[in-house]
Amino acid sequence: MNVQPKQVKPRVESGERPTLTFQQKRRGKPPRHLADLDREQRRALVADMGLPAFRADQVSRHYFDHRTAAPAQMTDLPQGQREEIVSQLLPPLVKKVSEQYADGGRTLKVLWKLFDDAVVESVLMGYPDRATLCLSSQAGCGMACPFCATGQAGLTRNLSTAEIVEQLRLNMALAESGALGESVKVTNVVFMGMGEPMANYPAVRAALHRMIDPSPEGFGMAARHVTVSTVGLVPAILKLAEEGLQVTLAVSLHAPDDGLRDDLIPINSRYKVGELLDAARHYFVRTGRRVSIEYALIKDMNDHQWRAELLAAELNARGRGWAHVNPIPLNPTPGSIWTASTDRATRTFVQTLIDAGISTTIRDTRGSDIDGACGQLAAEVVDRDNVARRAKQAQEAVEARLAEHRAEPVDLADQLAVMEQGRK
């Protein structure tokens, strides 16, 4: 059946506007996998297969503790049943198609193919004694941000829980077997690859459990080392705040004013900056986890000093010490007419935030030369020219309204004064 994806248009309709997509075209489901299930469901499944329930825990330990899906290594399973058990519980879901190294071998981007030939990318970043994995939650993305290559390519489909978890398991195995030089453990995970994790909430929530819950439920990673990054789907942020998970929330803000953010992050037409920051603050209150505010610095677009002042005021108006700002120089995508801010503008922006009492650190950009940096993942894209053209068009439409966006609001001083008064 061919189901049209639901299209949600931002409210302002002047000029070339990007189109938001929330629903994927209907596709078959990936095969069921152990990592889709919690421990009780796995035990029930194994019992249905006519086996003792503890076999589920044995396979889970191989998978989560030893990062393996190879029957030959599961010597505690009866030899004659190993193949059958593994084929039922651990069907292969993602297959490595290609890999690319950058940063002198410290960054590894892998292209994975899924059961239906959809593809996603992950990026493994090595540090002296550990590694961070940037993984994908969707094939493509429906959020249509004009500066992001994935966003220009559109949404193919949501990943299943196990497809997300398999990216982690396979990258853990790669890191531990010395793919980045020394054998290192993947200690940190960021949902900053392809996709909007909060638009695939149930699968991402379950994947978080597999990451955090101790073996044999999951990998037993430290929750605070797992970061979920979102364009700002407010209802999902509020839901995540109630899950009792201590994961870190990152909000891709990129502009402190609705005028510009409506253009840079189309979902802002639904959830405005104020509402989004309220939700982020609520997340901090409920979890005690400081929220990261992501801010891609785009030359002469969102990098003005007055915007740093406004951002600081918006954050300070909601309390002290609850947010940390992470500016990142824009990684230009194919067709981009925008570039990264100058060093000087970057320094001024950062210093303005710091002077206003906001903790701020510039984010390390890894893998930009292999299109492996933030916003550059576009695995799905067969027709790069087309995507580059779309990016350019979307950006030009924003440029056309730029005068409006660039100028400091005439009432900036009043706005700042009101926020100063409203400080908590």
Which residues are part of a known binding site? Answer: 141, 145, 148, 195-196, 229, 252-254, 331
Task: Return the bridge partners of 328, or none.
Answer: 296
CB 146, min distance to ligand SAH, A: 9
Stretch that binds ligand SAH, among 69-77, 281-289, 327-335, 347-355 (CB under 6 A): 327-335
Concerning whether 121 is annotated as a catalytic residue, the answer is yes
State which of residues 60, 200, 252, 316 lies at the interface with ligand SAH (CB under 6 A). 252
Residue 262 interacts with ligand SAH (CB under 6 A): yes or no = no
CB closer to ligand SAH out of 126 and 197: 197
**Residue of 294, 374, 380, 399 with catalytic role:** 374
Nearest CA among 262, 137, 275 for reference residue 208: 137
C-alpha neighbours within 13 Å on the C-beta side of residue 213: 17
Residue 303 interacts with ligand SAH (CB under 6 A): yes or no = no
CB 367, min distance to ligand SAH, A: 12
Residue 121 interacts with ligand SAH (CB under 6 A): yes or no = no
Q: What's the chain's length in residues?
A: 424
Residue 333 interacts with ligand SAH (CB under 6 A): yes or no = yes
CB closer to ligand SAH out of 30 and 266: 266
The runs of H, that is alpha helices, within 301-411 are 305-316, 343-355, 384-400, 402-406
CB 292, min distance to ligand SAH, A: 9
Residue 148 interacts with ligand SAH (CB under 6 A): yes or no = yes
Q: Is the four-CA dihedral 18, 366, 231, 153 of positive or negative sign?
A: positive
Residue 245 interacts with ligand SAH (CB under 6 A): yes or no = no
Looking at residues 164 to 193 of the shown chain, list those that interact with ligand SAH (rule: CB under 6 A): 192
CB closer to ligand SAH out of 88 and 138: 138
CB closer to ligand SAH out of 63 and 191: 191
State which of residues 108, 114, 296, 379 lies at the interface with ligand SAH (CB under 6 A). 296
**Residues 138/194, Cβ–Cβ less than 8 Å:** yes
CB 399, min distance to ligand SAH, A: 16
**Residue of 121, 163, 314, 380 with catalytic role:** 121
CB 142, min distance to ligand SAH, A: 10
Nearest CA among 34, 39, 37 for reference residue 217: 39
CB 296, min distance to ligand SAH, A: 4
Residue 374 interacts with ligand SAH (CB under 6 A): yes or no = yes
Residue 302 interacts with ligand SAH (CB under 6 A): yes or no = no
Site string for ligand SAH, 188-227 (x = CB under 6 A): ----x---x-------------------------------
**Residues 215/60, Cβ–Cβ less than 8 Å:** yes
Residues flagged as binding site for [4Fe-4S] cluster:
141, 145, 148
The footprint of ligand SAH (CB under 6 A) covers: 143, 147-148, 192, 196, 229-231, 252, 294, 296, 328, 330-331, 333, 374-375
Catalytic positions are: 121, 374
